[in-house]
A and B are shown apart, each in its own frame.
Chain A
Amino acid sequence: AQSVTQLDSQVPVFEEAPVELRCNYSSSVSVYLFWYVQYPNQGLQLLLKYLSGSTLVKGINGFEAEFNKSQTSFHLRKPSVHISDTAEYFCAVSRGTNAGKSTFGDGTTLTVKP
């Protein structure tokens, strides 16, 4: 079984500041890792995913994440945030096979202030 812990429930930052949203996972098998964004009253949009290969993954909207196997982490970063990045961010893990259910973290609310 897999589990995901998002270490911060709320992250307030000022516009143009860097941000890091933290995610740790646990699993007894190899995993795939994902970050999704959810804007108010909308669905889930895939930001980026790690399947294999380079541990630094670049996604949409200027976000990137780094897979750290020894620390079982997959933190999401953006060097300069915009007001429009205000949303809920979910880290998710699935077992490292062709397909499988995703287990989600509790979410982190990113609020970007002017």
Chain B
Amino acid sequence: EPEVTQTPSHQVTQMGQEVILRCVPISNHLYFYWYRQILGQKVEFLVSFYNNEISEKSEIFDDQFSVERPDGSNFTLKIRSTKLEDSAMYFCASSYLAGSTFGSGTRLTVV
């Protein structure tokens, strides 16, 4: 069964550093998403991406965040200057129609 692949599975970074989280969505999917889950809390929507542009974003997705689909297969989330409160599990998801397939997540720890 097709999978959404995320790398790395764990990332530790120092506060103020830039991080890039990488995702390879399912190849025929058209819609791409990033969500985050702070430890012990629910999954929160960050951003959706369609036709090479952001289609929707939440209030969490401020100027520190950006997304890109640089080569038609990868889908990245960049955090420009990480803060302690950015520590969370970040999930990539993709969909063709309704119902997203989620990746296994990247656990980001900001120290």
Using a CB–CB distance below 8 Å, which chain B residues touch chain A? Answer: 30-31, 33, 35, 41-45, 48, 50, 56, 91, 93, 95-105
How far does the alpha carbon of A9 sit from the alpha carbon of B89 in the complex, in Å?
Answer: 20
Apart from A43-B104, A101-B48, A102-B93, list 17 A-B contacts with CB within 8 A. Answer: A32-B98, A36-B102, A42-B105, A44-B105, A46-B99, A49-B98, A49-B99, A90-B43, A97-B98, A98-B97, A98-B98, A99-B30, A99-B98, A100-B48, A102-B45, A104-B42, A104-B44
Is B48 a contact partner of A94 (Cβ separation < 8 A)? no
How far does the alpha carbon of A43 sit from the alpha carbon of B48 in the complex, in Å?
Answer: 19
Is B31 a contact partner of A99 (Cβ separation < 8 A)? yes
Known: A43-B104, A44-B91. A103 touches B99 (CB 8 A): no
Give the shortest distance, in Å, between B102 (CB) and chain A (any CB): 4
Contact of B33 among A34, A96, A97, A101 (CB under 8 A): A101
Residues of chain B with a CB closer than 8 A to A36's CB: 102
Residues of chain B with a CB closer than 8 A to A42's CB: 104-105
Is B42 a contact partner of A90 (Cβ separation < 8 A)? yes
Residues of chain B with a CB closer than 8 A to A20's CB: none
Residues of chain A with a CB closer than 8 A to B96's CB: 99
Give the shortest distance, in Å, between A8 (CB) and chain B (any CB): 14
Near B by CB (< 8 A), chain A positions 81-110 give 90, 92, 94, 96-107
Q: Which residue of B lies closest to A103 (CB)?
A: B45
Residues of chain B with a CB closer than 8 A to A106's CB: 41-42
How far does the alpha carbon of A96 sit from the alpha carbon of B77 in the complex, in Å?
Answer: 26
Residues of chain A with a CB closer than 8 A to B42's CB: 90, 104-107
